[in-house]
């Protein structure tokens, strides 16, 4: 694979790419057909969309104030000039910290426009977690929402320059932007210049920085979004995932801008707030996690969702009972999808009449996926194995020996256990490390969770393996009950019998513990390791 000459003055990211022989195989024909060697994705998302769709339509709103494409471009170019004035060079790493709002979007676009490398961070991260990111990415600049500066100020290993935004101080970024020139020519970056370091959740151990090119940013819009969401410039996108999470970045910034649509960015998008926002702002494309869809079900009948045409679920596996309950309550078929930070966004999904309840879908156009054994032989239909994928995006960790774990034989090895049926549909079983071996039987934790979720008393469920002298492990369930249910020994027995009647009896949870809430990451993913 040829590497295009970089526009980066600071060559840190290019120098720390894994060796090319450790990269996955890419869909080169798909990439060459769509993207030239020189490409700045931020310019394509703004200048390119304005050229195609015009600048008068809504680009971004926070629910109170709305910016047209022309207004957004004005702010981005002014911000780009401010960043240049403080010494940000192409290739420098710029950390972003703040909630979903228009100014966080502006900073992301401006950093990428000047050829720098954006390092998005979850607003809930603590100083110790931020320090790991600063160390791995060698961050030199930070743009921080003024309300989130306290934790950032405690990051002891950052010695660069911080600019605050969203406040009234004369030195605030927004004040500097107002005085800056709105004329800026985007840096002539290579399509394979790194534009973003996206960190994995880092729930255990040292987090990994995934390296994404300018072309990758457009590829996720031109594959998953174009083929599955099928957007138009009339669409309004909204959802709960943070922009620092690649699911949210795609759904709430890249996708709407790529197709001339509008992004509704909500600082708080808890399920009740999100439901009301859909009704009030006539949202058409909704993106959130399965737990949020389930949490919205009790009150979904109280709001008018007639504007919705697309509901996308990702971030964790979608239980079939949740899919059916949402369909029954709203008439909408949830679009399931599996993605990864390493792949940037969703690579298996289905839409419309192609949706099969309980299935994640098929490989998104541009990608190929397979279920294989440990020797990378394809498994027969119906037989479980490891999910592997190739496409226009793929894993490149920044200077991390774990590259050899994720990329093998040209494939991206996702760490998920799947079954593929005779029609090419993929069905999720579990994460590879969430398979419970009990008395010689392999039991997938999500399958037991899905069975529990079908019971009217269960709001949420998480299943793990518990060491057991007789069986090696037993299945243990942690259950959050609905407000109408009461914990009791009788309910434990009822739930156990319910599971036995719906899936193979040996899979039933031999222990059930009722809890008030389940541990989750900032992106809403279940943290089973804490339960273990």
141: CB partners within 8 A, 6+ apart: 83, 86, 88, 92, 93, 94, 95, 116, 160, 161, 162, 163
What mean pLDDT value characterizes the chain?
93
CA distance 189 to 168: 34
CA distance 97 to 430: 32
How confident is the model over 415-437, as a mean pLDDT? 88
Q: What is the DSSP string of 23-85?
A: SPPB-HHHHHHH--SB--HHHIIIIIHHHHH-SSSEEEE-SS-EEEHHHHHHHHHHHHHHHHH
pLDDT band at 128 (very low <50, low <70, confident <90, very high): confident
- What would the pLDDT profile of 203-229 be if each residue is shown by its tens digit? 445 789 999 999 999 999 999 999 999
**Domains identified in the chain and CATH numbers:** 12-420 (3.40.50.12780), 439-531 (3.30.300.30)
Q: What proportion of the chain, given as a percentage, has pLDDT over 70?
A: 98
Distance of CA 391 to the CA centre of its chain: 17
pLDDT band at 430 (very low <50, low <70, confident <90, very high): confident
Q: What is the DSSP string of 464-522?
A: EEEEETTTEEEEEEEEEEPTT----HHHHHHHHHHHHHHS-GGGS-SEEEE-S---B-T
The pLDDT, as a whole number, for residue 2 is 66
- What would the pLDDT profile of 361-420 be if each residue is shown by its tens digit? 999 999 999 999 989 999 999 999 999 999 999 999 999 999 999 999 999 999 899 999
pTM for the model: 0.87
Say which range, 8-12, 67-71, 102-106, 429-433, has the weakest mean pLDDT. 429-433
- What would the pLDDT profile of 255-308 be if each residue is shown by its tens digit? 999 999 999 999 999 999 999 999 999 999 999 988 889 889 999 999 999 999
CA dihedral sign of residues 427, 402, 221, 108: positive
Per the DSSP assignment, residues forming a β-bridge with 66 are 61
CA distance 76 to 496: 56
* pLDDT at position 528 over 60: yes
pLDDT band at 117 (very low <50, low <70, confident <90, very high): very high
The pLDDT, as a whole number, for residue 523 is 64
Instruction: With beta carbons less than 8 A apart as the criterion, state whether 481 and 463 touch.
Output: no
What Rg value do the Cα atoms of the chain yield, rounded?
23
Instruction: With beta carbons less than 8 A apart as the criterion, state whether 492 and 506 touch.
Output: no
- Which residue, among 503, 116, 121, has the nearest Cα to 319 in the 3D structure? 503
Instruction: With beta carbons less than 8 A apart as the criterion, state whether 290 and 428 touch.
Output: no
CA angle 368, 371, 528 (to 5 degrees): 110
């Amino acid at each position: 694979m040829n590497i295009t000459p970089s526009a980066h003055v600071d060559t840190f990211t290019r120098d720390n790419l894994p060796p090319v022989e450790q990269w996955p195989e890419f869909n080169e024909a798909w990439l060459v057909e769509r993207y030239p060697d020189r490409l700045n994705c931020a310019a394509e998302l703004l200048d390119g969309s304005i050229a195609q769709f015009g600048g008068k339509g809504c680009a971004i709103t926070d629910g109170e104030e709305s910016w047209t494409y022309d207004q957004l471009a004005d702010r981005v170019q002014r911000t780009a000039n401010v960043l240049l004035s403080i010494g940000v060079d192409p290739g420098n790493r710029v950390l972003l910290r703040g909630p979903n709002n228009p100014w966080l979007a502006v900073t992301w676009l401006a950093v990428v426009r000047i050829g720098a490398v954006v390092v998005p961070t979850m607003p809930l991260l603590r100083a110790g977690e931020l320090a790991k990111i600063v160390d791995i990415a060698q961050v030199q600049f930070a743009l921080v929402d003024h309300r989130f500066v306290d934790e950032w100020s405690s990051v002891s290993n950052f010695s660069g320059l911080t600019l605050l935004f969203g406040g009234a101080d004369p030195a605030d970024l927004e004040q500097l932007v107002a005085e800056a020139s709105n004329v800026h020519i985007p840096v002539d970056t290579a399509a394979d210049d790194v534009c973003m370091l996206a960190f994995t959740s880092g729930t255990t151990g040292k987090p990994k920085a995934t390296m994404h090119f300018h072309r990758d940013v457009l590829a996720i819009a031109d594959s998953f979004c174009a083929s599955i969401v099928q957007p138009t410039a009339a669409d309004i996108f909204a959802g709960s995932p943070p922009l620092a999470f690649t699911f949210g970045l795609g759904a709430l910034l890249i996708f709407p801008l790529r197709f001339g649509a509008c992004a509704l960015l909500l600082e708080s998008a808890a399920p009740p707030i999100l439901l009301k926002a859909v009704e009030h702002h006539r949202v058409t494309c909704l993106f959130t996690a399965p737990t949020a869809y389930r949490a919205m079900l009790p009150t979904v009948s109280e709001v008018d969702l007639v504007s919705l045409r697309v509901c996308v679920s990702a971030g964790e596996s979608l239980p079939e009972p949740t899919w059916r309950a949402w369909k029954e309550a709203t008439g909408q078929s949830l679009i399931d999808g599996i993605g990864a930070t390493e792949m940037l966004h969703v690579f298996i999904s289905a839409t419309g009449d192609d949706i099969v309840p309980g299935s994640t879908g098929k490989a998104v156009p541009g990608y190929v996926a397979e279920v294989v054994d440990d020797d990378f032989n394809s498994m027969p239909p119906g037989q479980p194995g490891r999910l592997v994928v190739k496409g226009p995006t793929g894993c490149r960790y920044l200077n991390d020996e774990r590259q050899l774990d994720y990329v093998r034989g040209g494939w991206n090895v996702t760490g998920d256990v799947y079954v593929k049926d005779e029609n090419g549909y993929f069905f999720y079983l579990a994460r590879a490390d969430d398979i419970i071996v009990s008395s010689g039987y392999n039991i997938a934790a999500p399958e037991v969770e899905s069975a529990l979720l079908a019971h009217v008393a269960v709001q949420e469920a998480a299943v793990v393996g518990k060491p057991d002298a007789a069986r090696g492990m037993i299945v243990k369930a942690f259950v959050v009950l609905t407000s109408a249910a009461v914990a009791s020994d009788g309910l434990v027995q009822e739930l156990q019998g319910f599971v036995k009647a719906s899936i193979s009896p040996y899979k039933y949870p031999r222990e059930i513990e009722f809890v008030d809430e389940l541990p989750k990451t900032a992106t809403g993913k279940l943290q089973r390791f804490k339960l273990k």
